[in-house]
Amino acid sequence: MTADRGCDPAAKTGPFPRFHPVAIAGRSHGVPIAHGLTHPGYLRDGLRHDGRASPVNWNLLRQPDVGALILEQAVVGIAPLPTRSVGELDTIAGIVGTPVVSVGYGLNWTKVYGTKPTSGLGPQTDLGGGNEVKRVARLGPIKNLFKNSLVPRQDVKKGDDVGCFGDSGSPLFLGRNGVVEPAIAAVLSGATNWCQGSMDPYYRIDRQEAQDFLQCVIASQDDVGAACRECSAEANLGLCGR
């Protein structure tokens, strides 16, 4: 790949692509990111023959679908929201049927059932977004609570808001007694076509495997290489560097 993200025919590597570790990533505006790390249980240890990584399980309801971003510089003046403690969602009486709210910056597509997306919000300018306005989506009540995930109703025919492309990884909050509780319960995984909701799973952040991963990254956050080698799926793919 050349600097402008175009392919350089003179630099072809065949029959399969050659991969190199990436030290710095991130957009030219916003908060620079030093490294993005994937939960070690999410990806298979080896790359496919075409050079792509594969998930351990294609069923997102069963995947540890969580990652962590290490920023180049610490963010000051903003207190991070807490996450639900290990197993906490299992202890909440009547959690199925509890309203939930998700926050994201993805595309804001029409909620008319069965139609293709309209232009809207979000950073994905190639899909009609671009103004990066935060959306607060009231997804209706929790429909199913599984071991690793939960599924809100997200029924556009019943007036619910939905998650959309670009919202993946966005936090989910419980609404109880008329108050949206400021503790992260889950993060959006995703699956549904045309952002019509109804089947998008959210990975439960109260799982032990999620908390172990996050604590590992936090413990090594001042040494990106160490965090990658000790905590991530990228280590198993040889992408951590030194």
Give the whole-angstrom CA distance, residue 72 versus residue 32.
6
pLDDT digit string (tens) for 64-106?
999 998 888 888 888 889 999 999 999 999 999 999 999 877 7
The DSSP bridge partners found for residue 41 are none
What residue ranges do the domains of the chain occupy?
Answer: 9-76+230-236, 88-204
Which of 100, 183, 182 has its CA nearest to residue 145? 100
Neighbours of 205 (CB within 10 A): 22
Residue 180 has pLDDT above 50, yes or no: yes
Give the whole-angstrom CA distance, residue 188 versus residue 198.
13
Give the pairing type, strands 135-145 and 99-104: antiparallel
Tokens of 21: 């570790």
Reported for 130-133, long-range contacts at CB under 8 A and 24+ positions apart, including other chains, are: 132/105, 133/105
pLDDT digit string (tens) for 136-170?
888 999 999 999 999 999 887 888 888 877 788 88
The DSSP bridge partners found for residue 70 are 35
The residue with greater pLDDT, 106 or 21, is 106
For residue 213, the one-letter residue type is: F
* DSSP letter (8 states) at residue 209: H
Residue 185: pLDDT band (50, 70, 90) is very high
Give the whole-angstrom CA distance, residue 92 versus residue 84.
11
Mean pLDDT for 218-232 is: 91
Which of 148, 127, 144 has its CA nearest to residue 195? 127
Give the whole-angstrom CA distance, residue 86 versus residue 209.
9
Residues 88-204: name the CATH superfamily: Trypsin-like serine proteases (2.40.10.10)
The residue with greater pLDDT, 116 or 230, is 230
Residue 229 has pLDDT above 70, yes or no: yes
